[in-house]
Chain A
Amino acid sequence: MAVERYLQNAISDWMCDDGPESDIVISSRVRIARNLKDHPFPLLATDSQANAVINKVSETIINGKMKQIGNFDLILLEDLNDLQKKVLVEKHLISLNLANESRKGAVTLSENEAISIMINEEDHIRIQCLYPGLQINQAWEMANKIDDILEKDLDYAFDEKRGYLTSCPTNVGTGIRASVMVHLPALVLTNQMNRLVPAITQVGLTVRGIYGEGSEALGNLFQISNQITLGQSEEDIIRNLHGVVNQIIELERQSRRNLVEEKRFQIEDKVGRAYGILSNAKIIDSKEAAQRLSDLRLGIDLKMIKGISASVVNELMVMTQPGFLQYIANEILTPEERDIRRATIIRKKLLEIK
């Protein structure tokens, strides 16, 4: 089945390249929401109306002018089991909302998994482009290009005054959500996040955990994204986010330098312990794994640990998520069983590198 190739590897092809500022910025993502004119939004659509949208949109993506961007596979959510959906969510290829809430949801994925176009999520179309490191401009340019191509064949719901019309009033206007995933261990360690978060909120951006709305900030990973979609141009939104992220990178780097200068032993100890636990533990829960992997990553970035690449840590972050663990095991596991499997996978991976 077509979906298997997208589930096998914890780390997408696009994530294998190092992007700019990759010691702090994991990835950049732009998502734009679009709806078709004269079709009820997915929330109110009947099955046949929803299927009509899937057919229309996927036809354009797979057989139309989108060929110039690449080849896409169409995956219908109703053909997937819960574990398969979970893995796609953990790899950020689909949203939690599409996995859990949508009736008649679908997704088209590009071969390198950098482009995901969701159909019948909250909106008819959600174009998502992912890039490694800080490449938010590139992500927007790609999403913009795809949007133009789709619009050649599809009639969008657009209003001169309100812009692109979306199912939720929080997305209306540009329909854009640009977000950058950052690893901020030094700012967390020095208790600066509590001050930083309100400051970020004041400039119209939000900070969330890695799996979007309401999710916890596991492993010192944060998603910073724009909140406002109406009354600002796309370029302003991107520029604003880029500017703020640049400042956050600078703050994190400064904190890392201070930590190394003032508390070198404590940091080396923390990193060494993380490496020790990860390479020897027999049971580890997801929270601890995320924290230790974050410590290990900090050690790699600070050159305290040699011979392990940051992309291995990225890979382990996804591989140790509950969905992926169970998918590899090919069965539903209890939390206790998962903790054992998680420890095994990490141990093996770290041993392989040695």
Chain B
Amino acid sequence: MLCENCGKRPATLHFTKIINGQKNEYHLCEQCAKEKGEIFSSSSESFPFHHLLSGLLNFDQMVEEHPLYTNPESQRCETCGLTFSQFKKMGKFGCSDCYKYFELQLEPIFRRIHGNSQHIGKVPLRSGKSIKLKKELSQLKAILQQKIALEEFEEAAKLRDKIRALEHKISESRG
């Protein structure tokens, strides 16, 4: 497609403008767009990703109404000293404890980036052993409820023994 302004160069910018409900589509080349003041930044310089991220991080109205809300800008990770506003600027955490200290503000951010905020993937084999067992335990308990509801008591009894053994294992692994 050629630029609709000069008709010479290929149109590289395609956008829709809605002014007072009036919708218009535009197809321009970079040069014409620049001349018409329609360009936001030169596309030759790539837009730094962390700016985009800090854009995302600026939506914290959602948590402002939360009872535990304190001004997030002044919130600080007590392990590494990073403040929330520094985090927003860099788009990077200072240490793994930042996740704990900024937990409240992070929830909507994770949802925005990943569409999700709960990890369901791999768990470390050694240090995650008790986490893994706990997950298994809650799964077994759910199945047990089903079996009871279905009145399959023989199965349920087997499950109950399994759950007991697992609970024992978990309390042992805690030492």
Does A167 sit at the interface, judged by CB under 8 A? yes
In the complex, the answer to whether B117 meets A231 with C-beta atoms within 8 Å is yes
Please, which residues of chain B bring their CB within 8 A of the CB of A233?
A: 120-122
How close is B10's CB to chain A, nearest CB, in angstroms? Answer: 11
| Stretch in contact with the other chain, from A126-134, A154-162, A283-291 | A154-162
How close is B16's CB to chain A, nearest CB, in angstroms? Answer: 15
A contact residues vs B (CB 8 Å cutoff):
35, 37, 39-41, 43-44, 122, 144, 147-148, 151-152, 155-170, 172-174, 176, 213-214, 228-234
Please, which residues of chain B bring their CB within 8 A of the CB of A176?
A: 121
Kindly identify which residue among B94, B115, B118, B122 contacts A43, using a CB–CB cutoff of 8 Å.
B94
Mark B106-136 against chain A: 1 for CB-CB distance below 8 A, else 0: 1001100111111111111111100100000
Please, which residues of chain A bring their CB within 8 A of the CB of B80?
A: 40-41, 44
- Chain B's interface: helix, strand, loop or mixed, by majority? loop
B contact residues vs A (CB 8 Å cutoff):
46, 49, 53, 79-80, 82, 90-96, 99, 106, 109-110, 113-128, 131
In the complex, the answer to whether B116 meets A228 with C-beta atoms within 8 Å is yes
A43 in contact with B92 given A158-B123, A158-B128 (CB within 8 Å): yes
Please, which residues of chain B bring their CB within 8 A of the CB of A40?
A: 79-80, 94-95
Please, which residues of chain B bring their CB within 8 A of the CB of A161?
A: 117-119
Number of A-B contacts (CB under 8 A): 115
In the complex, the answer to whether B94 meets A162 with C-beta atoms within 8 Å is no
- Chain A's interface: helix, strand, loop or mixed, by majority? loop
With A168-B93, A229-B114, A230-B113 known, 11 other A-B pairs at CB within 8 A are A40-B94, A41-B95, A44-B95, A155-B127, A162-B117, A163-B119, A167-B92, A168-B91, A232-B116, A233-B120, A233-B122
In the complex, the answer to whether A230 meets B125 with C-beta atoms within 8 Å is no
In the complex, the answer to whether A169 meets B93 with C-beta atoms within 8 Å is yes
In the complex, the answer to whether B91 meets A169 with C-beta atoms within 8 Å is yes
In the complex, the answer to whether A230 meets B110 with C-beta atoms within 8 Å is yes
Interface centre among B91, B96, B124 (most CB of A within 10 A): B96
In the complex, the answer to whether B94 meets A41 with C-beta atoms within 8 Å is yes
